[in-house]
Amino acid sequence: MKLAGRVAVITGGGSGIGLATARRFAREGARLALVDRDAAALAEAAATLQAMGQAMGQATGAEVMTFASDVGAPGAAEADAAAVLARWGRIDVLMTAAGFSCGGTVLTTAVEDWDAVLRANLGGTWLWARAVLPAMRRQGGGSIITVASQLARAGGRGNSAYIAAKGAILSLTRTMALDFAAEGIRVNAILPGAIETPMLARSFARHPDPAVPRAASIARHPLGRLGRPEEVAEAALFLAGEGSSFTTGSEILVDGGWLAG
């Protein structure tokens, strides 16, 4: 197992990319701490992961902690990370998959919506990195996996706050990679294309006919379809494990060819 004995924190772990990554990591033996604002989704995720572990022969199922927390709330990440360390004594992997999008141009986005999007995406990434880095420094290493977007490179219409936040995550990823490389801490970003997640469905639902933006998005990917969360999880597994031991400050595209086209 590629992650046996390792402890991974995944924000946004109740659904979408975060949940798919939690399942993939669990199959590789990781202990998991999942963070999400949706307590019901977290409970369902934990039950699924424990059942998976039992099916794999673990008597009590996968080892899972859950935190119904707002990743952008000051102090929440530190408290949750402290609880993880109190139970398992280390944090080897952080994946910041929690995200939020409201749509809108610079002119149509309300100030409170701008703040909320940057708080969840960029603020949540920053706060959770701050919370786990001291433990990773003590351990002599770790892997931080941020989740940006192909839109951070390509740009896009009608989603200014989200795209700005994802672009800032790329810059933050690079500077953290440089700041902590000498201590064995690797920091890399995944740039997904349009992935079949609840957040994407909500984005399409903002259109009078959700089928219209969905069809346009599919057409924009040279592979001719939307991505699956499990495909992003495979990239996360690579960045979490020893196979990426010489990879830091990098951007892994899982975008169906969007940026190439």
> What does the pLDDT look like over 123-150, one tens digit per residue?
999 999 999 999 999 999 999 999 999 9
Q: For 81, phi and psi rounded to 5 degrees?
A: -65, -40
- pLDDT value of residue 180: 98
- What radius of gyration do the chain's Cα atoms show? 18
Contact in structure between 84 and 7 (CB atoms under 8 Å): yes
Q: Which domains, and CATH codes, for the chain?
A: 7-260 (3.40.50.720)
Low-confidence ranges of the chain (pLDDT < 50): none
Rounded-to-integer distance, Cα 83 and Cα 169, Å: 26
The full DSSP string for 187-240 is EEEEEE-SB-SHHHHHHHHTSSSTHHHHHHHHHHSTTSS-B-HHHHHHHHHHHH
- The pTM assigned to this predicted structure is 0.95
Residue in 259, 97, 118, 252 with CA at minimum distance from that of residue 188:
252
- pLDDT value of residue 220: 93
Label residues 73-96 b or e (16+ Cβ within 10 Å = b). Answer: eeebbeebbeebbeebebbbbbbb
Burial of 155 (0-12, 13-18, 19+ CB in 10 A): exposed
For 254, the enclosing helix (H) or strand (E) is strand 251-254
Cross-strand partners of 187: 144
Neighbours of 112 (CB within 10 A): 9
Tell me the HSE value of 210 on the side-chain side, using a 13 A CA sphere: 7
- pLDDT value of residue 50: 86
Active site residues: 162
In the sheet with 31-36, reading across from the earlier edge strand, the strands are 64-68, 31-36, 7-11, 93-96, 142-147, 185-192, 251-254
- pLDDT value of residue 60: 53
Amino acid, single-letter form, for residue 183? E
Cross-strand partners of 257: none
- pLDDT value of residue 59: 52
